Amino acid sequence: MSESDSKPRDPHHAVLISLRSTFPVFQECRPLAIGIHKAVLERIPSINPQQLRLAMRMHTASARYLKALTNGETRFDLDGNPAGAVTPEQKQQALDTLRDHLAEISVPESPTLVEIESARGSLQLIAHDIGRATASVRLLAPADAYHVLTPSLRKAAGSGVTLDLCALEPVELPFATVRPAHPGHQWPGQPLVAVVDDRSAVMAARVGTDVRGHWSTAPAFVAAAALAFERFGTAP
């Protein structure tokens, strides 16, 4: 059942459903113009301002909106017209908020699957998992990804976590060996595979600057990621 089909649980939830059904920029979760709540009040004077503020807070704090803000370049008004830019500082703040939300979430008891839609998002997920590792990290990543993940890997190494690292290009780290991966295996782009503590995993592919894949705690997915990692570690 979609959100618009479900029964509103409270007044501001009903307001949010109304906004999403009235204005495509809300339904499509596009970055919103600064001060857009004023435009909403002008268009719909009957909306309770307090409930509107709560609805806006719920919308802009959602993971979907924060992801759109992180990946977006332009903000939009109620009619979908460009209305300012998303600044680098705002992107970073949205990313930090996503990271904080993720840090509050322990590995769930039931298997979870999360779609990865950006290079930054994939590395953020991997860095988060590495930061919580207690036993082992297996990582196959492009050489430039290691520059981003080095702080998390160094911390894990210092905590006694076993690191098994691979890359298709030469990578040198002062605290761990990165062995060469074998490029002969089929993969839809540059492989990005991470398995942490055999409890969570990422399997993704980078084509150009785009990264697509998944993160999961499902045992079958983690096992498949471990198998993919081992395959790249041996000659085809």
CATH of the domain at 23: 1.10.1710.10
- Split at pLDDT 50, 70, 90, the class of 43 is very high
Binning pLDDT at 50, 70 and 90, where does residue 10 land? low
Which of 33, 66, 93 is the endpoint of a domain?
93
Does residue 63 lie in a domain region? yes
- Name residue 145's amino acid: A
Q: What angle do CA 100, 102, 106 make, to 5 degrees?
A: 125
**How do residues 51-98 score in pLDDT, each as one tens digit?**
999 889 888 888 778 878 888 899 999 999 999 999 988 888 887 777
| 41 CB-near residues (< 8 Å, 6+ apart) | 47, 49, 52
Other CB atoms within a 10 A radius of the CB of residue 198 amount to 14
Which of 93, 128, 151 terminates a domain? The answer is: 93
Q: Is residue 98 part of a domain?
A: no
180 in the same domain as 69: no
Q: State the pLDDT confidence band at 39, using cuts at 50, 70 and 90.
A: very high
Q: Look at residue 184 in the predicted model and tell me its pLDDT.
A: 61
Given the DSSP bridges, would you call strands 162-167 and 178-180 parallel, antiparallel or unpaired?
parallel
Domain co-membership, 176 together with 145: yes
Q: Is residue 13 part of a domain?
A: yes
On whether both 205 and 110 belong to a single domain, the answer is: yes
* Residues sharing a CB contact under 8 Å with residue 29, sequence separation 6 or more, in sequence order: 62, 64, 65, 68
Please answer whether residues 125 and 202 qualify as being in contact, where contact means their C-beta atoms are separated by less than 8 angstroms.
Answer: yes
Residue pLDDT, tens place only, 115-157:
888 888 888 889 989 988 998 999 999 888 998 899 999 999 9
Q: Are residues 188 and 219 in the same domain?
A: yes
For the cut 60, the answer to whether the pLDDT of residue 7 exceeds it is no
Domain hosting residue 57, numbered range: 3-93
- The domain that holds 186 is classified in CATH as 3.30.870.10
* Angle, in degrees to the nearest 10, between helices 143-158 and 119-131: 10
Q: Are residues 118 and 224 in the same domain?
A: yes
pTM for the model stands at 0.54
pLDDT band at 102 (very low <50, low <70, confident <90, very high): low
| pLDDT per position as a tens digit, 152-211 | 999 999 988 899 999 888 999 999 999 988 766 667 788 899 999 988 999 998 887 788
| 124 and 183 part of one domain | yes
Total domains in the fold of the chain: 2
Indicate if 208 and 112 belong to the same structural domain: yes
Mark whether 84 and 143 lie in a shared domain: no
CA distance readout (Å), 190 to 93, 141, 179, 199: 29, 8, 16, 23
In a domain, 10, yes or no: yes
41 and 126 together in one domain: no
Same domain as 189, residue 81:
no
